[in-house]
Structure formats: structure tokens, C-alpha cells
Structure 1
């Protein structure tokens, strides 16, 4: 029963997972026709199994990931097969005794060089799977011991079935309820900023206001939920980079076309993670009562600014002027904190112990405001990019230009 509940929750959290499972089933059924229909089986023989294998290994959740693996597999098979045939032909010129030596040297050189390229960041990020397939295919072709004519026939059959399997995956992935990595990256960045706003508003402010009172179990659950959001933002870097990598492979969709600004989304995501990274270091002090109004105001205004920026990303509009006002209010609250520090009387006995936490708090609050300011600038840059195509533009009542982008 518990397992069924977990399965149900997985489907409810993202119904697209159910659709993806159906799409994989459709793709496997189509390529299985190589065995169900005699004319196809006579044309490809046992090589039809490679089409099924291709579907199993390259059909991924997003369109970008599917295209990435399909092109990697097809391209690597083509290049490795051609080099394998060339290596077999070259080794054959050296006679029976020299053939194995030449093939051994070529396998060693190409396998070692290819493996080394996997340490190159750009290669590992986009072509790692292709390099693996290249090494595997070349080694199998080179050591097969078959005649060149037999290798050519076998390579033709396998490459054809691999291309058919990959093309089937790409067509179904794009045409049937496509899941675009670029769109998921767009939504993830906007949601992370929104989570930060909720965290600032719902956790730290509440913690200050309820410092001297017992929190109810509901309040504790709410704070735990906000903290979970805080952690999810901090841990989102790998997901964002993965989505950005696959967005790079995707064809034009929506208004981004072939110029998806995935690098700019990564920049915004990194700036957003700076906020909770600094916020978690804030500490309490006995001067907290004096600092409460300024801290609460700073948190509130920063939270409002983040909400405006999140909304701007979601709706692809220029950030409202109110976002800048909220940031200015946050700066004013930070200045109030500085004034409190300058005017507060500290016990002479433990001046250093009292001053240090306050200095840390003030410094971190200022850093957070600076992070939000940079985030605002980055969101504005994204809004002004010319790559959105011929989108309709018009002037709003507050003299800000808005535009609509359908991802």
C-alpha cells in the first residue's frame, strides 16, 4: 500500500512522467516491426535489434536530452565504423603477421585519446556518451576479424537501424506532448526566486517575531517546509546545468527559436543561490530587539523584490518599477541597521563578543541586498535580449515596455 501511494504521488507531482512512459512504449512498439514484418526482417536481419537497443538507451525525458543522445550515438557509430573499416583495410596490407600488431596499436591510440577527451569539460558535458559509443564501436569493428566487405555490410545495417531508432525517438519526443528542457529551465529559475521570497518572508521574519514565544506544531511544520525550499534552491545547480546542456541541443521552439539564452538563465540561477548561501550564516544577538524592525523591513522588501523578479521571468516581462523601489527600501533598512550599530551602547566587559555578531549580521544583510540588485540587473538584461524574435511590443501605463513570450 505504501508503495502504491509513492507511485501515485510520483504521477501526481508531474503527470508528464506518465505520458513519457507511454511515448517510450509507442517507440519500442514501432521499432519492433523489424521483427513482426517479414519484409523488414529480411532487409535488416538480426541488426534490427540495434533499433530496439537505440530506443531503450536514447529516449530521455526531455526533447533536448533525447536529441543529444540520438545524435551522439548516430554520429559516433558513423565515425567509429568508418575508422574501423579503414583500420581493418590498413592492417590487411601488412599481412597476417602484421595485421594484429597494427590493429592493436590503432585500438590503443584511439581508445586512449578518446578516453582522455572525456576529461575536457565541454566534451564531457555534451559528447561523453558519444565518445563511449565511439570507443565501443571502433574496438568491436577493429577486432572483429571479418573481411572488409562483410564489415561494410554489417556497418550499413547497424547504422541504418540505429538512425531509424534515433529518428523514431526524436519524432515522437517532439510531436507527442514534448517536454522542452529550455522551458523547464525557465520555470525552475523563476520558481527558485519565488521560493527565496517565500523563505525570507515565512521563515526568518517569523523566527524574529516569534523568538520569545513557543511555536505551534503547525508553525514548526511551516518553517520546516520553508527550510526545505531553501535547501532545494541551494541544491538546484546540477539540475539547472543539466537542463541548460540539453536546451543547447533543442531545435527552435516558442519565441526563443535557435537562440535560447540558457547561459543567461544559469547566471540568474547562480545569483539566486547566492542569497540563501549568505542568509544561512545570519546569527542572533541580544541586540536583536533593537534590530527587529530594520531586519523585518529588510526581509519584507527583499521578498517583495524577489517576487517581482520571479513574476517578470515567468511572464517574460520587463521588471516592474516597484522591484527597484523594494530594493531601495531594503537599502534604507540596511542603513538603519548601521545607525543602530553606531548608536547602540555596548557593555564594556564584552564589547568584542557583542560587536562581532552585529557586524556579521549587517555585513551579510548588505551582501544579500547586493545579490538581489545583481539579480534584478540580470533579469532586466534577459528581458531586453533581442533573440525573442518578432514578438509584439507595446508601452504600458507606467512607461515600461512589456512583451509576451510563449516558450
Structure 2
């Protein structure tokens, strides 16, 4: 039997060809697919995917538990080392009761990742130096200019002025993101130094500021040394691995969703309930990404990450991945809300949707692999052509269906095709972001692997 018209969409890499289905009532679409038939393969390997997912979750849980244990041990080591200022007589004679400031520095500064510890320690150091310097100047000025009555007035006015100004700047988003703790320490140190100057002489104020700064530096050195030298935990690694995992997780979620519903349309099985846990978890991941990126910017050159690494691009990728997760959730909702959405599609349209879905899944995994291995994805020569072909095919399907909407199920199918097109658009945006990261970060070319 022959069809009245034929539309040919070619997507090749020379690996395999899928023969077309022909139908005398509908248009026939011929495909030469460059990626493996992942949906058909999934039908035969559901147990394998389930076991792989369970094993991956167990490995992630064990990895997190190990990191928690390492962090706890490192905090204990730091507290023991800084307590030597009290335990050893020569050290205690050097710092005296000011050793308590070193212990406080360790307790409040030591964070889970090296970047967080370094950022918080530097903030504490800068806040202490600036606050102490300003406090000394204000205390000396009050003692020189004021008497018994004017001295408290000048100090009170300086406390009000600096506290107000510092708090105002602390509310700016750019300052709050990276220097909030430093500004808070500046306010605290300034008040402690300037108020103590009311009851002490000029020389005593200098000694108080100097001793407190010295002990804070001691605590900071202990924190940084242990954090960087004893099994360092990097925020940059966590952010990088998190982004890579999202590519693979969204690819698997979309694969399962489309495969199940294509099979529902062809085999008339009971409608399954696809699992969208991964997609839902990505909807509120922006705050965590921003926190990790902020910590990563403080970290020194280590491993595969250098100075001025494009962490802002990672945040952009995280936003696009979150938007893609929302669209995938909408695709699942669109299919679940109708009774037999895929049954309304012709065999050629089912074949088209399956092929397009396979292409999107393959692209997401390819992008995730390129990020994981830190190599260029060669978007122009491989991925972009496939996405353009998928968009053209979806345009053909949606055009034919818009004119044939007769009931809610047909409308659901049309909405499904539209959402699938939005998925393609987001994947194309992701491709551009990955390509830009590769250029800025200097990823190695694919041919060097």
C-alpha cells in the first residue's frame, strides 16, 4: 500500500536505520536515527534500570554519609589543636584569656566545604581588621576630644553612625551574598573595641584589638589548614556533580515517561503512573546552587577547577534544567489527564514521537557526558542538526492535529506535541550553555579522547 504523501526527516550518524511504517490514511515519516532505540531497549530492561537506580541512590547515600563523618572528624581535630592554647603553658602565657577568641573562631568558621570555610574565615578576618581599626580610631578620638561628658556622647554617636551605615550596606544583595558575615563581624568588633575604650587608656585599647586579632588569625589558620589538607571537601565538586546528575536524571525521567505512554497507545495497557521525583526535586534547587557557587568562588585552584572558573554559567544551566523539569512535569500531566491520548495518534505519528523522544534523551545524556568528562560537545556538527530536525517534525505533527481537534483527548494530544516542542527548545538552550562553558573553561576537544 502506498501513502498519498511522504515527509522525510533524516537524522544520521551512520550507525543504524529504522525502517518506516506506512499507512494509507496518514502521512508517512521516514527516519534514519543516529541514536539507539532507547525506548524499545527500555521495554526489555526495566529491571536493569530499577536496580541501577537503587544502586545509584545507595552509592550517593553512602558518599554523603562518608563526607559527614570526615567533616565531623576534621572539626574535632581543629578543636583539639586550638585547645592547645589553653592546655600548653607556653602558649597560654602568650595569649592568655584571649584564647577563647581562637576557639570561638574555629567553632563559628569551620564549615562543611573548604570554600565555605575559607570564605567565612576571610570575612571574619576582614571584618575584624576593619572593625577593630575603626573602633580604635573612634575610641582614641573620643578620649582626645571629649571629657567626662563628651566622651560617651562621641562614642554613642559613632556606634550609631557606623552601625547604621554597615547595616544598610549589608542589605544589598551583592554584599549579602558574599560579605554578609564579614559586615556582621565588623559591626560586632567595632562595638566591642570602641565601647571598651570608655573604661581603658589608649594603649590598652590597642592591646585589646591586637590580641583579639592575633587569636582570631590563629583560629583561622587552624581551620584552613585542616580543611584544605585533611581530605578536603570541595563545593565546586558538589556543584559540578549535581549539574551532571541532573542531565542524566531528566533524560531518564523523560525516557520512562514517553516510553510508557507510547506503549500505552500501541498496546492499550493500563495507564502507568510515571515517577517524576527527580523533576520535582529540581524545581527548588536554585538556592542550593547559588550557595554552592558562592562557596566555589572562594576556593583555591584545585583539580580540574582553576581561578575565575565560570560558575555563573553553572547557575544558568541549573535554571534551564529546572525549567526543563517543569515542562517534563507538564508533559506527564498532559498525558495523565486524558483517557487515551496516544491511542488517537497514527502509527507514523507514534513512530515520530518515539524517535523524537529518543533524540532528546540521547542529547541530554550526551550533554551530561560532555560536562562530566569536561570535553566539548561539538554541538554544531552533531546535536544542533538533530534538534532542528526534531523541531521540524513536531511542527508537521502539530499542524496536522490542530485542524483535527474534536474532543478533549485530541486537545491533550495536541498539547503534548506542543510541550514536546518546548522540551526541544530547552534542550537546544542547554546545548548552547554547555558549549559556552566548554569555551570559557577550556574543555578539551572531543577528538583528543
TM-score, normalised relative to structure 1: 0.85
- What residue number does 1:80 align with? 131
Classify 1:340/1:13 alpha carbon distance in 2 versus 1 (closer, same or farther; 3 Å): farther
- Does 1:123 pair with 2:172? no
Structure 1 match to 2:356: 298
- 1:245/1:153 Cα in 2 relative to 1: closer, same or farther (>3 Å)? same
For residues 274-285 of structure 1, the aligned pairs below 5 Å read: 274-282=323-331, 283-284=334-335, 285=338
The match for 2:101 is: 50
Offset at 1:112?
1.1
- Does the residue aligned with 2:149 lie in a helix, a strand or coil? helix
CA 27–10 in structure 1, closer or farther in 2 if over 3 Å, else same = farther
1:34 aligns with 2:88: no
Measure the CA separation in 2 of the matches of 1:200 and 1:287. Answer: 17
Distance in 1 between residues matched to 2:434 and 2:105, nearest whole Å: 40
Give the match for residue 342 of structure 2: 288
* Secondary structure of 1:281's aligned partner: helix
Which of 341, 353, 356 is the equivalent residue of 2:401?
Answer: 341
2:142 is the counterpart of 1:60: no
Gaps of at least 5 residues in structure 1 are 1-8, 395-399
Are 1:165 and 2:219 counterparts?
Answer: yes
Further displaced range: 290-299 or 271-280: 290-299
Greater displacement, 110-119 / 318-327: 318-327
Q: Counterparts of 1:221-370 in structure 2 under 5 Å?
A: 223-224=274-275, 227-282=276-331, 283-284=334-335, 285=338, 287-289=341-343, 290=345, 292-319=350-377, 322-324=382-384, 326-342=386-402, 345-347=404-406, 357-370=412-425
Equivalents in 1 of 2:386, 2:221: separation in Å? 50
Q: Is the 8 A contact 1:182 1:260 kept in 2?
A: no
State the alpha-carbon separation in 2 of the partners of residues 17 and 379 from structure 1: 31
Please say if residues 64 and 249 of structure 1, whose CA atoms lie closer than 8 Å, have aligned partners that are also in contact. Answer: yes
What is aligned with 2:269?
A: 213
Distance 1:142 1:95 in 2: 16
Q: Secondary structure at the match of 1:108?
A: helix
Give the C-alpha shift of residue 53 in structure 1. Answer: 0.8
TM-score scaled by structure 2?
0.77
Provide the rounded CA distance (Å) in 2 between the counterparts of 1:331 and 1:248.
Answer: 38
1:330, CA displacement in angstroms?
3.0
Q: 1:85 to 1:293 in 2, by over 3 A?
A: same
Instruction: Output the CA distance in 2 between the equivalents of 1:362 and 1:11.
Output: 40
Q: Which residue of structure 2 lines up, in the alignment, with residue 176 of structure 1?
A: 230
The answer (yes or no) to whether the contact 1:294–1:336 under 8 Å persists in 2 is no
- CA shift for structure 1 position 358: 4.7
Instruction: Give the direction of change, closer, same or farther, for the CA distance of 1:146–1:298 in structure 2 (3 Å limit).
Output: farther
More displaced 10-residue stretch of structure 1: 78-87 or 200-209: 200-209
1:15 alignment partner, SS class: helix
CA deviations over 1:24-71 (Å, ceiling 9, x no partner): 111111000001111110111111011111111111111110001000
Instruction: Please say if residues 304 and 326 of structure 1, whose CA atoms lie closer than 8 Å, have aligned partners that are also in contact.
Output: no
In 2, Cα distance between equivalents of 1:202 and 1:14:
30
Deviations 1:220-248 (A, max 9, x none): 6xx44xx2111122222111111110111
Q: Distance between the aligned counterparts of 2:308 and 2:167, measured in 1?
A: 31
Could you report, residue by residue, the CA deviation over 1:140-163 in whole angstroms, capped at 9, with x for unpaired residues? Answer: 222222322212112111111111
3-state SS in 1 of match to 2:330: coil
What is the alpha-carbon distance in structure 2 between the residues aligned to residue 333 and residue 164 of structure 1?
65
Kindly indicate whether the alpha-carbon contact (under 8 Å) linking 1:200 and 1:300 is maintained by their aligned counterparts in 2: no
Deviation at 1:203, TM superposition (A): 3.0
2:246 is matched with: 192
Q: Distance in 1 between matches of 2:80 and 2:418?
A: 61
Contact 1:195 1:233 (8 Å CA) reproduced: no
- The answer for the alignment partner of 1:4 in structure 2 is none
Is the 8 Å Cα contact of residues 193 and 310 (structure 1) preserved in structure 2? yes
SS of the aligned residue for 2:269 comes to coil
Q: CA offsets, 1:159-191, max 9 Å, x none?
A: 111111111111111111111111211111111
How far is 1:115 from its partner?
A: 1.0
C-alpha distance in 1 between matches for 2:64 and 2:120: 26
Moved more, 263-272 or 200-209: 200-209
Q: Is contact 1:278–1:368 with CA below 8 Å preserved after alignment?
A: yes
Give the C-alpha shift of residue 300 in structure 1: 2.4
